[in-house]
């Protein structure tokens, strides 16, 4: 038995494992998730030493599972692997007891305590926030200028440009011709970013998706409006 209800241990070769005693649990269980890492639930009748011994006997299986999550870029963000247009993510263990994020081109640096692992839920959340900050910086640098250029090229007029953290749509155009664009457009190749911008600029003239809208959008995308729309659907907004 151990005094604290919760305990976290960092094992060489495995990483951080969180132990939690549950008075209602009938047996020991090990849970491995990309969002929360490795968690062990201990019943009241089992000592910490016995629980730890069992967990370590399963170390090979745990490492394999962690490796599986490491291979999934969409579920686990890894240092030096995740890149935005102008930033590279780095996880940096430090002597601090807090998780902090610093975004300064060309880096997104996530500083986290030595006793935590990269797969820790809070470290991963901080990394996602850092990436979102990087997308926002890039979006504000790139998108307004691109909207202005394309509007002048094709003769459109708009009111204001807003850069939003929208994860349900890439862009929108209001009744007053205010254009809002998602920071996650930075995930798309240039040709699709231009397509989204042109899509919203067309809405300054046509407020629906009727035949006239698609005809005009087709005329300024070299007849590729439907194809480009299909390509956009292969991507997902968000981190």
- For 26-76, how does the pLDDT look when each residue is reduced to its tens digit (9 = 90+)? 899 998 876 567 899 999 889 999 999 999 999 998 888 777 666 554 446
- pTM score, whole prediction: 0.68
- 96: in domain: yes
Domain membership flag for residue 81: no
Whether residues 141 and 60 share a domain: the answer is no
The answer to the question of residue 79 being in a domain is: no
Q: Which phi and psi (to 5°) does residue 238 adopt?
A: 105, 175
- Of the candidates 112, 205, 194, 115, the one whose C-alpha atom is nearest the C-alpha of residue 148 is 194
E-assigned strands of 57-106? Answer: 88-94, 100-104
Q: How many domains does the chain have?
A: 3
pLDDT tens per residue, range 147-187: 999 999 999 999 999 999 988 899 999 999 999 999 999 99
pLDDT of res. 191: 97
Query: In degrees rounded to 5, what are phi and psi of residue 90?
Result: -135, 130
Q: Which contacts of 40-44 are long-range, i.e. CB under 8 A and separated by 24 or more positions? A: none
**In angstroms, how far is CA 64 from the centroid of its own chain?**
24
Residue 237 counted as domain residue? no
Tell me the two tokens of residue 30.
Answer: 């090990």
Report how far Cα 123 is from the mean position of its chain's Cα atoms. 12
Same domain, 166 and 211: yes
* Same domain for 155 and 107: no
Lookup: tokens for 157: 């007029």
Residue identified by tokens 């994020």 is: 101
- Taking only the tens place, the pLDDT of each residue in 63-120 is 887 776 665 544 467 776 789 999 999 999 999 889 999 999 999 999 999 988 888 8
Q: Quote the domain boundaries for residue 218.
A: 135-232
Assess if residue 221 is contained within a domain: yes
Q: Are residue 93 and residue 117 in the same domain, yes or no?
A: yes
The answer to whether the beta carbons of residues 215 and 223 sit under 8 Å apart is no
Neighbours of 27 (CB within 10 A): 9
């Amino acid at each position: 038995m151990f005094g604290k209800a919760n305990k976290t241990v960092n094992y060489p070769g495995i990483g951080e494992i969180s132990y939690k005693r549950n008075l209602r649990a009938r047996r020991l269980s090990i849970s491995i998730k990309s969002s929360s890492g490795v968690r062990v639930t201990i019943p009241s009748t089992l000592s910490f030493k016995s629980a730890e011994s069992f967990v370590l006997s399963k170390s090979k299986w745990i490492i394999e599972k962690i490796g599986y999550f490491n291979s999934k870029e969409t579920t686990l963000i890894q240092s030096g692997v995740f890149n935005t247009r102008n930033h590279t993510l780095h996880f940096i263990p430090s002597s601090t007891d807090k998780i902090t994020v610093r975004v300064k081109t060309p880096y997104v640096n996530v500083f986290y305590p030595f006793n935590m692992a990269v797969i820790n839920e809070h470290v991963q959340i901080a990394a996602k926030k850092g990436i979102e900050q990087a997308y926002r910086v890039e979006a504000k640098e790139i998108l307004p200028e691109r909207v202005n250029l394309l509007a002048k090229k094709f003769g459109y007029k708009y009111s204001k440009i807003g850069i939003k953290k929208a994860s349900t749509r890439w862009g929108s155009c209001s009744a007053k011709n205010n254009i809002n664009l998602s920071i996650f457009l930075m995930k798309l190749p240039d040709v699709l970013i231009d397509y989204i911008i042109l899509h919203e600029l067309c809405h300054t003239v046509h407020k629906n998706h009727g035949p006239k809208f698609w005809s005009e959008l087709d005329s300024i995308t070299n007849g590729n409006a439907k194809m480009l729309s299909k390509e956009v659907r292969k991507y997902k907004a968000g981190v």
